[in-house]
């Protein structure tokens, strides 16, 4: 543990220091802007810019600096557009492994919403097959723990589930005491390479998605639902059929947060009677403390995924069995520090402890 | 005895909190349910019956009515509420978070000038071009008015 503390201190004194300084300056600037904005009551602007900045330092694991920028444009009463770009740099502490940088388009869509019952999105968006992903999108600011559960990781981060999607998406909410919502999508999912969505090539992967959820009026804060996703992947020599089903449950009320999700994925070869089954779940429990400690939110996360080793389509994904405990501290509504201890099973089967600290800003 | 009654009345007057829902006088809506009200202020209900986008306004949490709004109606800490709305806007579900009014008069002036606005205030404003809605069919003076604590 002494080594871990020294490593963390070293990381804070070297690369992340510059990041932290910039984040704090940004925070001061934005806080001043918001204080001014509260005095003047004006209609919201048509063009909105926002974003998140994250810096995560870990001992003997992958460090991350990420910037997530998004913009929404209200074109009319019913039409809006959204674009989101994410830049991320990762490197491992204590090793000479190369740094990895990526900048990519995360979401780009136009939305038509004539009412709360019906909303249509066209473009690149998130599938919502894993609710965590749908709820948080890329930002770690919004989520309570530092790490994303294994079933909600992006393919670029060795995740297995198809999180992004290009196509047409309809969703809506029915008024009433049941709080019923629906989502239906059709388009293209990940192709023969799990982290790419080909549109115009022969490796295009037709995909469809249906989800329903309820949030009963007489049970405030409770929400549960089911999502089903299917796609045809033209892998060679045998094409694959993918069927995913997830069931989720959230309860968020009076500072208590309980989130749980169970996901199952099956891959069938279209010509050979072979089925690969992959499954995973997470359970998150957190509670905002009261009184003078109300800015603190301790949490615990149980994170499990089991990948069939014979499923070559998921060759970059690995099984995981982990738990994490930590605390999130909100210095302001827009500046968060998290500290976490995570115990996870390494590829050789041994338990690997990881200590992490995250600074996160929203603006 | 009169002094005791006066002290009891003072205590009740000091602790009782009521919130009022106001809209522009040009709106046809006269009543709102508590479910829809929570939906509006959580970004789940975003449209008027006319299909125009709503502009919700909330009281500043530095006021008693703002505290009551967070604790009683939203049932969450201000931190969680602000971050909930950061997520709502980020997911593209709403164009912006609710506007924060420093006083009931400021909220009423805004609502009077913007027919698509809806505000929660801690006192009935003097502004003439706004209307106070009933909640779940109850008038604010009713004993069982849902926004009375």
Report the pLDDT value the prediction gives residue A30, as an integer from 0 to 100: 52
> Mean pLDDT across the stretch A198-210?
87
pLDDT more than 90, % of chain A: 48
Report the pLDDT value the prediction gives residue B9, as an integer from 0 to 100: 56
pLDDT exceeds cutoff 50 at A1: no
Report the pLDDT value the prediction gives residue A39, as an integer from 0 to 100: 52
* Helix H or strand E encompassing A38: helix A15-39
The band of A15, judged by pLDDT with boundaries at 50, 70 and 90, is very low
Report the pLDDT value the prediction gives residue B118, as an integer from 0 to 100: 96
Structural domain includes residue B121 = yes
For residues A173 and A214, the answer to whether their CB atoms sit within 8 Å is no
Structural domain includes residue B147 = no
Number of compact structural domains in chain B: 1
Structural domain includes residue B149 = no
Q: Is A250 on the interface with B (CB under 8 A)?
A: no
> Mean pLDDT across the stretch A221-229?
95
CA distances from A230 to A103, A162, A195 (A): 28, 10, 17
Q: Is A289 on the interface with B (CB under 8 A)?
A: no
Residues in chain A: 363
Structural domain includes residue B11 = no
Label residues A102-126 b or e (16+ Cβ within 10 Å = b).
eeeebbebebebeebeebbbebbbb
Q: Is B137 exposed, middle or buried (0-12, 13-18, 19+ CB in 10 A)?
A: exposed
Q: Please name which of A18, A27, A115 lies closest in space to residue A65, comparing C-alpha atoms.
A: A18
Q: Is A288 on the interface with B (CB under 8 A)?
A: yes
CATH of the domain at B103: 3.40.190.10
Structural domain includes residue B99 = yes
> Mean pLDDT across the stretch A49-75?
90
Q: Are B76 and A135 inside 8 Å of each other by CB?
A: no
For residues A307 and A150, the answer to whether their CB atoms sit within 8 Å is no
Q: Please name which of A229, A233, A194 lies closest in space to residue A316, comparing C-alpha atoms.
A: A194
Pick A255's closest partner by Cβ from B36, B77, B89: B77
Check residues A360 and B15 and name the one with the higher pLDDT: A360
Structural domain includes residue B24 = yes
Report the pLDDT value the prediction gives residue A360, as an integer from 0 to 100: 94
Read off the pLDDT of residues B105-126 as tens digits, 9 standing for 90 and up.
999 999 999 999 999 999 988 8
Report the pLDDT value the prediction gives residue A12, as an integer from 0 to 100: 40
Chain A from 184 to 243: CB within 8 A of any B CB: 217, 220-221
For residues A149 and A117, the answer to whether their CB atoms sit within 8 Å is no
Report the pLDDT value the prediction gives residue A2, as an integer from 0 to 100: 37
Read off the pLDDT of residues A107-137 as tens digits, 9 standing for 90 and up.
899 999 999 999 999 998 888 889 887 766 6
User: What interface predicted TM-score (ipTM) does this complex get?
Assistant: 0.79
Read off the pLDDT of residues A232-245 as tens digits, 9 standing for 90 and up.
988 888 889 999 99
The band of A217, judged by pLDDT with boundaries at 50, 70 and 90, is confident
- Residue A39: list chain B partners with CB under 8 A: 102
pLDDT exceeds cutoff 50 at A18: yes
Read off the pLDDT of residues A31-55 as tens digits, 9 standing for 90 and up.
444 443 445 588 888 898 999 999 9
pLDDT exceeds cutoff 80 at A19: no
Pick B77's closest partner by Cβ from A115, A175, A294: A294
Residues in chain B: 149
Read off the pLDDT of residues A248-276 as tens digits, 9 standing for 90 and up.
999 998 889 999 999 999 999 888 888 99
pLDDT exceeds cutoff 90 at B11: no
- Determine the number of helices (DSSP H) and then strands (DSSP E) in chain B: 5, 7
Q: How far is B43 from chain A (nearest CA, A)?
A: 10
Interface with chain B: mutation pick from A39, A44, A143, highest number of B CBs within 10 Å: A44
- Residue B80: list chain A partners with CB under 8 A: 255, 288
Spatial separation of the C-alpha atoms in residues A225 and A112, rounded to whole Å: 24
Structural domain includes residue B146 = no
Q: Is A325 exposed, middle or buried (0-12, 13-18, 19+ CB in 10 A)?
A: middle
Read off the pLDDT of residues B51-110 as tens digits, 9 standing for 90 and up.
899 999 999 988 999 999 998 889 888 888 999 999 999 888 888 899 999 999 999 999
Q: Model-level pTM? A: 0.82
Domain range holding B103? 16-135
Report the pLDDT value the prediction gives residue A197, as an integer from 0 to 100: 86
| DSSP state, residue B98 | P
Check residues B27 and A24 and name the one with the higher pLDDT: B27
Query: Directed axis angle between helix A2-13 and helix A15-39, to 10°?
Result: 60
- Residue B75: list chain A partners with CB under 8 A: 220-221, 253-254
Q: What are phi and psi of A39, to 5 degrees?
A: -75, -30
pLDDT exceeds cutoff 80 at A280: yes
Structural domain includes residue B122 = yes
């Amino acid at each position: 543990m002494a080594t871990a503390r020294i490593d963390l201190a070293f990381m804070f004194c070297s690369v992340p220091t510059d990041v932290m300084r910039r984040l704090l300056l940004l925070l001061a600037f934005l806080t001043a802007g918001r204080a001014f904005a509260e005095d003047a009551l004006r209609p919201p602007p048509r063009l909105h810019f926002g974003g998140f900045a994250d810096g995560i330092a870990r001992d003997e694991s992958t460090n991350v600096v990420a910037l997530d920028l998004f913009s929404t444009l209200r074109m009319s009463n019913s039409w809006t557009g959204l674009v989101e770009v994410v830049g991320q740099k990762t490197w491992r502490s204590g090793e000479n492994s190369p740094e990895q940088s990526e900048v990519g388009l995360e979401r780009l869509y136009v939305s038509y919403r004539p009412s709360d019952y019906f909303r249509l999105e066209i473009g690149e968006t998130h599938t919502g097959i894993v609710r965590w992903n749908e709820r948080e999108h890329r930002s770690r600011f919004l989520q309570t723990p530092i790490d994303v559960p294994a079933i909600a990781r992006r393919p670029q981060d060795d995740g297995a589930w198809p999180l992004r999607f290009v196509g047409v998406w309809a969703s809506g909410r029915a008024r009433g005491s049941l709080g019923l919502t629906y989502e239906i999508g059709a388009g293209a999912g990940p192709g023969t390479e799990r982290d790419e969505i080909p549109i115009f090539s022969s490796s295009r992967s037709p995909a469809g998605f249906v989800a329903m959820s309820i949030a009963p009026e007489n049970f405030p804060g409770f929400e549960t639902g089911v999502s089903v996703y299917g796609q045809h992947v033209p892998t060679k020599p045998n094409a694959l059929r993918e069927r995913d089903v997830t069931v989720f449950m959230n309860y968020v009320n009076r500072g208590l947060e309980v989130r749980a999700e169970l996901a199952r994925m099956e891959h069938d070869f279209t010509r050979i009677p072979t089925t690969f089954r992959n499954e995973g779940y997470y359970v998150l429990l957190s509670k905002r403390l009261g009184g003078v400690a109300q800015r603190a939110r301790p949490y615990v996360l149980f994170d499990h995924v089991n990948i069939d080793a014979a499923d070559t389509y998921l060759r970059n994904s690995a099984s995981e069995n982990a738990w994490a405990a930590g605390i999130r501290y909100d210095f302001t509504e827009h500046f968060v520090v998290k500290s976490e201890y995570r115990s996870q099973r390494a590829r050789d089967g041994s338990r690997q402890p990881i200590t992490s600290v995250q600074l996160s800003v929203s603006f | 005895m009169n002094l005791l009654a006066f002290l009891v009345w003072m205590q009740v007057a000091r602790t009782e909190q009521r919130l009022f829902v106001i809209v522009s006088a040009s709106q046809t809506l006269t009543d709102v349910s508590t479910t829809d009200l929570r939906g509006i202020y959580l970004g789940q209900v975003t449209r008027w019956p006319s299909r125009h986008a709503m502009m919700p306004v909330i009281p500043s949490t530095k006021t008693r009515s703002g505290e009551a709004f967070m604790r009683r109606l939203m049932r969450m800490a201000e931190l969680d509420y602000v971050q909930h709305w950061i997520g709502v806007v980020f997911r593209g579900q709403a164009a912006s978070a609710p506007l924060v009014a420093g006083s009931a008069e400021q909220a009423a002036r805004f609502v009077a000038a913007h027919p698509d606005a809806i505000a929660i205030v801690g006192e009935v404003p003097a502004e003439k071009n706004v209307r106070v809605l009933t909640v779940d069919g109850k008038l604010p003076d009713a004993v069982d008015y849902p926004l009375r604590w």
